[in-house]
């Protein structure tokens, strides 16, 4: 089994990528082939060069599309911005090959926030988007809130979260 983990923001030095690394390590320790795709790799002019009439015409982004195509299970790590997912993450999905890029694939969602929501609304909105594209989302959506308190030096410091993450990973492998 191989799983792609998408770190869902292009912010420099973001925490999503660190959480993506944590999930990758956990998967690899179970002998699962885990790979990370970071939205920091989006082309600078992505919102013009890879969308709409230019969909499929940006060679750099086409490589990312091919990577998506090669995985059947995908984890999205989603920081909460303004009560939802990052706009850049939605723009990323808007640039995928339409309409079958996510169809019949399986997804797990991980939200993170500085505040106490853990991205609850972000994950609800993202589920709607993935569902629209006929992708299947694992019911167990992980919400890591107060990320600055609960995640330090690449490690979860809250044992409840550690257990919940491990349970989500087990369920996603079985999904």
Q: Report the residue from 137, 144, 147, 156 that binds its own copies according to the rule CB under 8 A.
A: 137
- The site map against its own copies for 74-103 (x = CB under 8 A) is -------xxxxxxxxxxxxxx---x-----
Cβ–Cβ contacts within 10 Å for residue 148, how many?
A: 9
Q: Report the residue from 56, 135, 150, 164 that binds its own copies according to the rule CB under 8 A.
A: 135
To the nearest whole angstrom, how small is the minimum distance from the Cβ of residue 32 to its own copies? 19
Instruction: Examine residue 116 and tell whether it contacts its own copies (CB under 8 A).
Output: yes
- Determine the interface stretch with its own copies among 29-37, 65-73, 135-143, 148-156 (rule: CB under 8 A): 135-143
Cβ–Cβ contacts within 10 Å for residue 128, how many?
A: 11
To the nearest whole angstrom, how small is the minimum distance from the Cβ of residue 91 to its own copies? 3
Q: Report the residue from 21, 35, 62, 136 that binds its own copies according to the rule CB under 8 A.
A: 136
Instruction: Examine residue 32 and tell whether it contacts its own copies (CB under 8 A).
Output: no
To the nearest whole angstrom, how small is the minimum distance from the Cβ of residue 36 to its own copies? 20
Evaluate the CA torsion angle 113, 119, 123, 129 in order and state its sign.
Answer: negative
Q: Report the residue from 12, 29, 31, 159 that binds its own copies according to the rule CB under 8 A.
A: 12
Evaluate the CA torsion angle 41, 109, 136, 123 in order and state its sign.
Answer: negative
Distance separating the N- and C-terminal Cα atoms of the chain: 12
Evaluate the CA torsion angle 170, 142, 139, 7 in order and state its sign.
Answer: negative
d(CA 156, CA 32): 21
């Amino acid at each position: 089994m191989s799983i792609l983990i998408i770190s869902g923001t292009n912010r420099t030095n973001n925490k999503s990528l660190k959480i993506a690394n944590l999930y990758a390590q956990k998967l690899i320790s179970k002998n699962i082939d885990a790979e990370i795709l970071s939205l920091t790799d989006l082309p600078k002019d992505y919102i013009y060069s890879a969308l709409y009439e230019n969909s499929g015409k940006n060679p750099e982004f086409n490589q990312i599309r091919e990577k998506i195509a090669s995985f059947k299970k995908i984890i999205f790590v989603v920081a909460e911005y303004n009560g939802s997912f990052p706009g850049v993450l939605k723009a990323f999905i808007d640039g995928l090959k339409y309409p079958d890029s996510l169809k019949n694939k399986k997804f797990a969602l991980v939200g993170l926030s500085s505040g106490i929501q853990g991205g609850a609304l972000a994950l609800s909105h993202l589920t709607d988007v993935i569902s629209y594209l006929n992708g299947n989302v694992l019911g167990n959506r992980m919400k890591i809130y107060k990320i600055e308190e609960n995640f330090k030096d690449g490690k979860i410091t809250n044992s409840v979260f550690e257990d919940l993450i491990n349970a989500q990973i087990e369920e996603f492998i079985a999904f």
